[in-house]
Structure 1
């Protein structure tokens, strides 16, 4: 089978396998279009997709030994792989919504607690002007601000890596797939997921 002509902006991820069955989790009894990818294959594809420039189209080339049994044709494999990454993207979206919801709830609790701490600190200062009162007042302010550390961390930083994963999974859900039969394939003892 002759290699497919690719667009100029294609970023090619090449995987060399003994059989197309190695793409999928062997313990998953689901129909092909609902099956999970093998964890090593998924990690390999995802790591290479992370390296791809943002303006490129992702293209997966699956190298199989000549005459190797196929699980399905290119179109079906492409649909199964795309469906897997769409499902993973939806899962990450739910994870991010849950995290941001937790951040908003934590921020609300943190702001209420900070307000209570500020009020208590001012009350302590008005009651007496001793060094102990000043220390207690400052301690209340510090505790109030520390209580807001987690919501600030969530709302400013923690969602960003998840957003990056969502972007990669979205790109992978539009991945094109090509099967090439060439060479003998990996030998026994060699890793079956290998850069071609």
Structure 2
């Protein structure tokens, strides 16, 4: 019995060093992936089904003898990216909660001011304009917190899941 089929992402390089960021002064095995390499891998993974098992196949033109570090380097890189995305998600949700509290407070003040205006102004056109303006301003203050809480976290959560999948994918080197 065989396991699920692996959707492979193929990367072609002339030597393994091309996969890594040349500005990173760390030894090769500890470097971050080159941003273009990462973008290619991430974009390729996004094109595959969300439930597909992923695998990375690195085709190298110059024969590579020491390739054992590559899998761990790729896994480490994507684990760090997942951690970073989780941090962004936590920060976004924290900002959303604070924004919601501010929005609710502003809405309450705007609605209270609208009620108070009834005591100060004579019934008529100006009172209605002020009441409606305060009500609209209060609800508009709730727009961004609700947008954050309802919609903005989804893409970051999907990014975390993708990076976690990439951090767990098998990595294989093929001498071309």
- Higher mean displacement: 99-108 or 116-125: 116-125
Q: Name segments (4+ residues, structure 1) moved above 4 Å.
A: none
User: Does the 8 Å CA contact 2:75/2:167 hold for their aligned counterparts?
Assistant: yes
Corresponding residue SS for 2:26: coil
Change in 2 beyond 3 A, CA 1:84/1:71? farther
Change in 2 beyond 3 A, CA 1:129/1:138? same
- Which residue of 2 is the match for residue 23 of structure 1? 19
- Which residue of 1 is the match for residue 35 of structure 2? 39
Corresponding residue SS for 1:180: strand
Corresponding residue SS for 1:168: helix
- Which residue of 2 is the match for residue 143 of structure 1? 137
Structure with the higher fraction of residues in helix conformation: 2
Matched, 1:81 2:101: no
- Once the two structures are TM-superposed, the CA of residue 55 in structure 1 deviates from its matched residue by 2.4
After superposition, what is the alpha-carbon deviation per residue over 1:149-190, rounded to whole angstroms, capped at 9, x for unaligned? Answer: 1101111111111111111101000011111112xxxxxxxx
After superposition, what is the alpha-carbon deviation per residue over 1:107-142, rounded to whole angstroms, capped at 9, x for unaligned? Answer: 001001100101111111244312101100100000
**Structure 1 gap segments, 5+ residues each:** 1-5, 183-196
**Structure 2 gap segments, 5+ residues each:** none
Q: How many residues align?
A: 174
1-structure distance, mates of 2:171, 2:39? 17
After superposition, what is the alpha-carbon deviation per residue over 1:42-75, rounded to whole angstroms, capped at 9, x for unaligned? Answer: 010000111221222111111111xx153842x3
- Normalised by the length of structure 1, the TM-score is 0.84
- Which residue of 2 is the match for residue 194 of structure 1? none
2-structure distance, mates of 1:158, 1:34? 33
RMSD: 1.6
- Which residue of 1 is the match for residue 90 of structure 2? 97
2-structure distance, mates of 1:134, 1:79? 66
Matched, 1:108 2:101: yes
2-structure distance, mates of 1:121, 1:136? 7
- Which residue of 2 is the match for residue 53 of structure 1? 49
- Which residue of 1 is the match for residue 159 of structure 2? 165
- Which residue of 2 is the match for residue 156 of structure 1? 150
- Once the two structures are TM-superposed, the CA of residue 32 in structure 1 deviates from its matched residue by 3.7
Higher relative contact order (CA 8 A, sep 6+): 1
- Normalised by the length of structure 2, the TM-score is 0.93
